[in-house]
Structure 1
Amino acid sequence: MSRHLDIDVAIIGGGLVGSSAALALRGMGFSVALLDKGYCGAQASGVNYGGVRRQGRPVEQLPLSQRAHAVWPRLKAQIGIDGEFLRSGHLKLARSEADMATLEAYKRSVEGHGLDLELIGHNGLRERFGWIGGDILGASFCAGDGHANPRLVSTGFAAAARRAGVHVLESTPVQGVTRNGSGFALEAGDGLSLKARYVINSAGAWAGAFAEAFGEAAPISRIYPSMVVTEPLDPVISVNIGMEGGGIYARQVERGNCVVGGERGLPLDDPDFSRPRGDGALAIMNHAAELFPGLRHAHAIRFWTGTEAATPDKNPVIGPSLTTPGLFHAFGFTGAGFQIAPGVGEVLAELVRDGATSTPIEAFSIGRFGNPTSARTHPGSGAGQNSEPQQAGEFNS
C-alpha cells in the first residue's frame, strides 16, 4: 500500500546524530521524519565503546565537543533517562617519554578551551590510581569527562523524538532522493513517498553514497571497532581510560562489568556487517590484564563489533551541501562521534532553522575533499539501499 508524508525535514539515518537532530528540530516546531534502513541506534551509535570524552580530540572539534559536554548532564530531562552517564574523568596514559611529551604539547594547545587538563607523573599516578599496572610513565587527566551506555543513549534519543511527534520510520531504507523544486522527493521502504523542504544525510557508513548522489564525493572508508565486556567485578577501574597513541581503552560500569576495546573486527561478505576476531578479543583482554591486574582472572562474557565511517583526516563531515540548497551532511565520525553527537544534532537544527550556527564547523566542510563530482541519479547502498548493491569501497575517492 502506498502512502505519502509531507514534512519539513527528512533525516536519513537513525543513529545518535540523526535522532538528536530530529528531537532538536521538533522542539523548534518543524515536522520531521527520521528514516533508518534497520533500527535506530543499531549501528555505530549503539555498539561503540561509550566514552564521553573531550580530551584527545583535535582542537577544531573542541567548540563542538564543549557544546555537547553541556548536554550530557541533562539527559534525563531531555530524553527521560540518564543513559548511565557517569562523569568519572578520563585518564590518558603515556607509555614513554615521547608519549608524555605529546600529552604536554596537547595540554598547551587546548588552553582556553575549558578542558582543565592535569598532567600526572609516575609517582602521582601510583598514589591516585594504584590499580594501574604495567610500565606507565605518566598521564593526562580530564576530570569533567566520563562514559555512558551507548545502547541506552542512542535508542533513548530516538524514543524521545517519537514521543515529541517525529515520524520515526525504522526498517525503511531510502531508495531514492531527488531535488524537486524548492525541496526534495524521497522514496523509501515499501511504497512510502515523502516530500521535504530539507534533508539531513546522517547515514553513517552509508552516507557517502547520498553525498555522491548530489555531486559531493567524500573519501570515507569503513572501520569495525571491536569491544569486550567482562562479568561483573569488584571495583577495578575508577575512570575512563585511554592510551596515548592508541592500543587500548577501558571503563567499568556501576554494576561492575568492564568494557574494553582497542581491536578491529572483520567485515563479512556483506560489508554492512562484521564479526569480532577471536584473536583480537584475546589480545584485548591480555593487554587489559597487563595494565589492570584486577582483570587478570576476569571472564569475558560477550564481545561485539560495529560498522563506522572514517575519514582520512579523522574529522567528521558536518555542514551544508555545497551543491544542493537544503541538504545537510553529518557523517564520518571515525569512531569518536558518541560524545559530540548531541551537539551535532543541535548544530544541524540551527542550520535548518537559521542557515547558520553559533558553533564553528568550517573545518568539517565536505568541500575540504576537493571539487564536487558529477551528480548521480540514485544514492547507492546502505541506508539508501539501491536495487543494485554497491561494494564497500566503491564510494572512496
Structure 2
Amino acid sequence: MNERADVIVIGGGIVGTTTAFFLRRRKRSVIVLERGLTGQQASGVNFGGVRRQGRALSQLAMSNRALQTWKRSRELLGEDVEFLPSGHTRVCYHAHDAEYFQRYADEARAHGLDLEVLEGRAMFERFPFLGREVLAASVSPLDGHANPRLAAPAFGRAAARLGARIVENTEVVHIEKEAGGFRVESAAGDIYRAEQVLVCAGAWANTLSTQLGEPVPLVARGPQMAVTEPVPYVFQHSMGVYTTVKAESVYFRQIPRGNLVLGGGPPGPADIATRRAGVLPENTVAQMAQFRRMVPALGPLHVIRVWSGVESYLPDSEPVIGPSTKADGLFYAFGFSGSGFQIGPGVGETLAELLDTGATPIPLDSFSIQRFQRGASAHAESATSETSS
C-alpha cells in the first residue's frame, strides 16, 4: 500500500481526530494513523473534565477556543458526546492555596476566564455539602464535563464524513524526510507520504521524535479512575481539590444517570510496550478517604468499577505543541500530562490553522520541543567538560 495526502496525523486521540476534523474543514487531505482504535488510550480513559481553570495562563487561549467547540459539539459532530456545561469548582485546605485562588482569578481574567472565589460562610451557603476543612472555593461557571469514551471517536467519524482517511490498528514504526515531504512506514510495511506530518501519539510520541533527532523526557503513567453506584443527581458542578500534596488532589463529577466518576491522587503504573496501565487498590482506598474529607456525604458510596490507561507526562507538566526544530513540515502535540482532554479541540483547531496557513495568532513558543533540546545540549556540554577536566 502506498497512499499520499497533504497531512499525515499520527495518533487518533482527541488532538489527532480534532486536527483532522478541522483540516478537512479547510479542505486539506489528511490521513490519520492510529496504532489501536481512536480514543482508546489517554483520550478515552481520563476524567472527562472540560476544565479551563487551573491551567497555565499560556494555555488559556487554546482552552477558550476548545470550549467553543465543546459548546457546539452536537451541531458539529451530529452526535452527542454528553458535554454538560455544569460548572467546575476547585476547593482547597491550605491558606496559601486560598491566596493563590484569588491571585490566579485576577490573572486569568485578562485571558478571558472569569472566576468567582468564595470563602467562609458564602462558600458553605453555596456548597453546604463541603467538609469543614475546606477554606476556599474557586468557581468557573461555564466549564463542565463530557464523556471521554465518546469524544475522540465522534470527532474521528466526523472527520471521516468530511473526507479524512482514518486508519486504525496501524502502528507507525518509521518517519523520514524525503524530497517533497515525508515517508511514513507502518509495522505492516505500508507506506504513506505527505507534505506535512503531525505526531500526536501520546506516550509513544518520544519514540518517533527521537528518530527525528528530538528526544524528550516523556514518561508514562496511569490515572486512577473509579465510578460509584448511581445515587440521586445532586452534584451539578465538577469538583476537585487544588493542593501541592498529591494525595489530597482528588476530583469527582456526577453524571445525570447518578453515578459519580472519581479520580486523582498518585498515579499508577503504565507500560507503553504492553499498552496497559493499572489501578492500585491502595490508591482507590486513599482516594475514598480524601473524598470523605472534601464531601463527607460521599462516605457511604460503593465503588463499582475502576480503570486506567496510558497517559504521557513531561517534567514541567506542559505539553509539546508546534513545529519541529529539525525538519520543516513536521509538527508535534503530545505530553499533556493528564490535562489534554478539555483543551484537545482547541489544540486541534490551532494546529489545523498552523498547518494550513503557516501561522496562528495563538503563541506557541512556550510549548516548543526546543526547550528539552536546550536542556539536553547543556547536559551534554557539562558532561564533556567534566570528562575533559
Query: TM-score surpassing 0.5?
Result: yes
Q: In 2 relative to 1, CA 184–251 (structure 1 residues): closer, same or farther, beyond 3 Å?
A: same
- Gaps of at least 5 residues in structure 1 are 375-397
The counterpart of 1:85, out of the listed 80, 83, 86, is: 83
Q: How does 1:294-309 map to 2 (within 5 A)?
A: 294-309=297-312
What's the CA shift for 1:100?
A: 0.5
User: SS where residue 304 of structure 2 aligns?
Assistant: strand
Q: Distance in 2 between matches of 1:4 and 1:35?
A: 13
Matched residues, percent identical? 42
Q: How does 1:325-344 map to 2 (within 5 A)?
A: 325-344=328-347
Give the match for residue 257 of structure 1: 259
Give the match for residue 26 of structure 1: 24
Decide whether the 8 Å contact of 1:131 with 1:237 is kept in 2. no
Per mean C-alpha deviation after superposition, the further-off stretch among 314-323 and 282-291 is 282-291
> Could you report, residue by residue, the CA deviation over 1:53-74 in whole angstroms, capped at 9, with x for unpaired residues?
1100111111111111211100
Decide whether the 8 Å contact of 2:233 with 2:255 is kept in 1. no
What's the CA shift for 1:221?
A: 1.6
Give the match for residue 352 of structure 1: 355
Per mean C-alpha deviation after superposition, the further-off stretch among 35-44 and 127-136 is 127-136
Say if 2:372 is the partner of 1:366: no
Q: Distance in 1 between matches of 2:270 and 2:73?
A: 33
What's the CA shift for 1:271?
A: 5.6
What's the CA shift for 1:172?
A: 0.4
What's the CA shift for 1:134?
A: 4.2
Q: Distance in 1 between matches of 2:146 and 2:135?
A: 28
Give the match for residue 281 of structure 2: 278
Decide whether the 8 Å contact of 1:103 with 1:244 is kept in 2. no
Q: How does 1:1-397 map to 2 (within 5 A)?
A: 3-245=1-243, 247-263=249-265, 264-267=267-270, 270=273, 272-371=275-374
User: SS where residue 224 of structure 2 aligns?
Assistant: strand
Decide whether the 8 Å contact of 1:268 with 1:275 is kept in 2. no
What's the CA shift for 1:4?
A: 1.5
Q: Which residue identity is paired with 2:50? A: V
User: SS where residue 225 of structure 1 aligns?
Assistant: coil
Decide whether the 8 Å contact of 2:133 with 2:293 is kept in 1. no
> Could you report, residue by residue, the CA deviation over 1:187-241 in whole angstroms, capped at 9, with x for unpaired residues?
1142321111110000001111211111112222222111110111112422111
Cα RMSD after superposing both structures: 1.7
Q: In 2 relative to 1, CA 343–97 (structure 1 residues): closer, same or farther, beyond 3 Å?
A: same
Q: Distance in 2 between matches of 1:80 and 1:201?
A: 27
What's the CA shift for 1:133?
A: 2.1
User: SS where residue 110 of structure 1 aligns?
Assistant: helix
Give the match for residue 386 of structure 2: none
Q: Distance in 1 between matches of 2:268 and 2:120?
A: 33
Taking structure 1 as the reference length, the TM-score comes to 0.90
User: SS where residue 40 of structure 2 aligns?
Assistant: coil
What's the CA shift for 1:266?
A: 2.1
> Could you report, residue by residue, the CA deviation over 1:132-176 in whole angstroms, capped at 9, with x for unpaired residues?
224111111111111111111121111111222211111100121
What's the CA shift for 1:372?
A: 9.5
User: SS where residue 142 of structure 2 aligns?
Assistant: coil
Q: Distance in 2 between matches of 1:222 and 1:342?
A: 22
User: SS where residue 192 of structure 2 aligns?
Assistant: strand
Q: In 2 relative to 1, CA 203–270 (structure 1 residues): closer, same or farther, beyond 3 Å?
A: closer
Q: Which residue identity is paired with 1:60? A: S
Q: Distance in 1 between matches of 2:335 and 2:260?
A: 27
What's the CA shift for 1:371?
A: 4.0
Q: Distance in 2 between matches of 1:311 and 1:270?
A: 18
Q: Distance in 1 between matches of 2:192 and 2:288?
A: 48
Q: In 2 relative to 1, CA 248–156 (structure 1 residues): closer, same or farther, beyond 3 Å?
A: same
What's the CA shift for 1:294?
A: 3.0
Q: In 2 relative to 1, CA 191–372 (structure 1 residues): closer, same or farther, beyond 3 Å?
A: farther
Q: Which residue identity is paired with 1:210? A: L
Decide whether the 8 Å contact of 1:8 with 1:32 is kept in 2. yes
Decide whether the 8 Å contact of 1:12 with 1:18 is kept in 2. yes
User: SS where residue 14 of structure 1 aligns?
Assistant: coil
- Gaps of at least 5 residues in structure 2 are 378-389
Q: Distance in 2 between matches of 1:29 and 1:189?
A: 29
Per mean C-alpha deviation after superposition, the further-off stretch among 261-270 and 55-64 is 261-270
The runs of at least 4 consecutive aligned structure 1 residues that moved more than 6 Å come to none
User: SS where residue 56 of structure 1 aligns?
Assistant: coil
Q: In 2 relative to 1, CA 286–373 (structure 1 residues): closer, same or farther, beyond 3 Å?
A: closer
User: SS where residue 38 of structure 1 aligns?
Assistant: coil
Q: In 2 relative to 1, CA 269–108 (structure 1 residues): closer, same or farther, beyond 3 Å?
A: closer
Per mean C-alpha deviation after superposition, the further-off stretch among 42-51 and 365-374 is 365-374
User: SS where residue 307 of structure 2 aligns?
Assistant: strand
Decide whether the 8 Å contact of 2:220 with 2:271 is kept in 1. no
Count how many residue pairs are aligned between Structure 1 and Structure 2: 372
Taking structure 2 as the reference length, the TM-score comes to 0.92
User: SS where residue 7 of structure 1 aligns?
Assistant: strand
